[in-house]
Structure 1
Amino acid sequence: MDYLLEETVPMADLKKFESKYNDEIQTQGRASSTAQFEYAWCLVRSKYSADIRKGILLLEDLFKNRDESAKQDYLYYLAIGNARIKEYQTSLKYIRALLQIQPGNRQATDLEGVVKKKMERDGLVGMAVVGGATLAFGALVGVGIALAKSK
């Protein structure tokens, strides 16, 4: 299930759906829900965080203003997008909202497990970095004191 957060969209797909989205805006003044969703779906699977954030904004707009029948899809990809930019709490919020609507949704349950595991892993890495920085700072202070005493 980790692949969901690591899968990236082929650039050709991103360009194709971006073009479709922009064409609809130019010709109709607004993109259809389908075009906006397809483009957002590609963006949240991009390797660039700016693209992912743009995809999240498009999905949030769809969720608030568009097709009621597709809200579960919007929630799911909002959860994926937020997890990919390490906004784990927000991702879990969307997963829980989806599970409220569909308590037996296996994909959402699996994604929740992946996000929690990532949170734990990133938290441990964060603690290791802080611990390493503290150790390095302590070593520098020790060297500074030793140099000061030697003079």
Structure 2
Amino acid sequence: MEERVEAMLDSNVTNSELKLHTEKFNQAMRDGKCDVDTKFQYAVTLSRSRISADHHRAITLLEDLCVSGDPEAFRDYLFYLIIVNIKLHDYVRALECAKKFLEIEPSNRQVQDLKTYAEKKRFNTGMKGLAIVGGVALAAGALVMAFKNK
């Protein structure tokens, strides 16, 4: 399962492909003719970028599409929101999107795998945070004891 998810997350866009979609999107915006498909394709391209600023832009576009895009494609928008939020390590948001997606299509294996992956990452991140806090508290305690004994 984890290998499948990491393969989805590691699918990166080439610089030329990113440039092409950026130019197409920007031209459509300048012309006032940016349709739902152009916006979605650009968001998907940004979601496959290696640059986190592109991921944030993808989230903005995908969230806008969730509100104003094609209702029939809502689950597609959610799917890419899950992926981008995982890439940004926002596991809580990724899990919220996965929950909404699975309400629509409960048997979707890819989203179930993404949800499990995000849950595992969120747990591991929380455990690392606790370990750091515990280490800091231990070090502070040791310093207090060292000063007390002087």
TM-score computed with the length of structure 1 as normaliser: 0.85
Question: Which residue does 1:21 correspond to in 2?
Answer: 25
After superposition, the CA RMSD in angstroms is 1.8
SS at the partner of 2:102?
helix
Question: Which residue does 1:65 correspond to in 2?
Answer: 68
- 1:7 to partner: Cα distance: 4.1
- 1:100 to partner: Cα distance: 1.1
Question: Which residue does 1:33 correspond to in 2?
Answer: 36
- 1:141 to partner: Cα distance: 3.0
- 1:13 to partner: Cα distance: 2.1
- 1:127 to partner: Cα distance: 1.4
Alpha carbons of structure 1 residues 30 and 60: separation in structure 2 relative to 1, 3 Å: farther
Counterpart Cα distance in 1 of 2:24 and 2:34: 9
Counterpart Cα distance in 2 of 1:44 and 1:5: 9
Counterpart Cα distance in 1 of 2:49 and 2:144: 43
SS at the partner of 1:2?
helix
TM-score computed with the length of structure 2 as normaliser: 0.86
Amino acid at match of 2:65: L
Q: Which runs of 5+ in 1 are unaligned?
A: none
Counterpart Cα distance in 2 of 1:141 and 1:132: 14
Count of aligned pairs between the two proteins = 146
Query: 1:114-141 CA deviation, whole Å, 9 max, x = no partner?
Result: 1111111111111121122222323333
Asked if the contact 1:2/1:114 (under 8 Å) is kept, the reply is no
Among candidates 59, 76, 80, match of residue 77 of structure 1: 80
Question: Which residue does 1:136 correspond to in 2?
Answer: 139
Amino acid at match of 1:3: A
Determine whether 1:2 maps to 2:15.
no
Question: Which residue does 2:123 correspond to in 1?
Answer: 120
Among candidates 105, 110, 126, match of residue 107 of structure 1: 110
Asked if the contact 1:88/1:119 (under 8 Å) is kept, the reply is yes
- 1:62 to partner: Cα distance: 0.9
Task: Choose 1 or 2 for highest CA Rg.
Answer: 1
SS at the partner of 2:118?
helix
Q: Which runs of 5+ in 2 are unaligned?
A: none
- 1:6 to partner: Cα distance: 4.3
